[in-house]
Amino acid sequence: MTKSSIKAASSLDTLFASATVVHRRNFLTAGAAAFGAAMVPAGATVAEAKQAAATAITEQDRQYMTQAIDLMRKAGVVEKTGGAFGAVIVRNGEVLSATGNSVLRDNDPSAHAEVNAIRAACKKVGAPNLRGATMYTSCECCPMCYATAYWARLDRIFYAASWTDYADLFDDSNIGADMKKPYAKRQVKIAQMMRGDAQKVWQEFRTLPDRARY
């Protein structure tokens, strides 16, 4: 066996070991994209190899993203329920939710496609977390949508358009910049009050054996 073939075999073993993306039994149907991701550079760390596997794009991924982009157009161009955003959440090959932005229809500034999708998926599975799931979103997540995905324990997010593709319409980067400022200088002013009263509730909550955990 040549050195190059040894490296290839080692890389494939690394990919197979990552249950997040490709299992051994599914490798032949994973497509060339997954195989390409398996060919990580020689000397790459285990973490780098896992990252390469976790972001490998398959034909199935493209189909889910196509669905998200269709929902994007439906929400923003056809039905005009809100901005042009769509999202699909999938776990173990099952579509848990597929939604568009509905800020205008629902008069709800939090009704972004990703938040709508996470809410619907959590309701479907009957739990406040989506471990093992992947979200396909037509556009890069805003801070609110990423935070919601973080709390939902999503494994991965794939996105199509970047913030810079629509910054003239929805400039999400402004939120990140604003959050870096001191409270007194933010667009929405923030001030603290009655901290002691709130701390008492936290002390009570902390002692509950059946307190909420998520």
pLDDT of residue 172: 84
The per-residue pLDDT of the chain, averaged, comes to 83
Split at pLDDT 50, 70, 90, the class of 176 is confident
Region 182-187: mean pLDDT is 93
**Most confident by average pLDDT, 133-137, 170-174, 183-187:** 133-137
Domain segments of the chain as ranges: 59-185
Catalytic positions, please? 114
Closest CA to 121 of 143, 106, 147, 99: 99
Assess whether pLDDT exceeds 80 at residue 205.
yes
Please report the pLDDT score of residue 28 as a whole number. 32
Q: Is residue 6 scored above 90 in pLDDT? A: no
CATH 3.40.140.10, applies to 59-185: yes
Question: 103-136, pLDDT tens digit by residue?
Answer: 999 999 999 999 999 999 999 999 999 999 999 9
Q: Give the span between the Cα atoms of 171 and 1, in whole angstroms.
A: 54
What does the pLDDT read at residue 214? 87
Whether pLDDT at 143 is above 90: yes
Average pLDDT over residues 51-69: 88
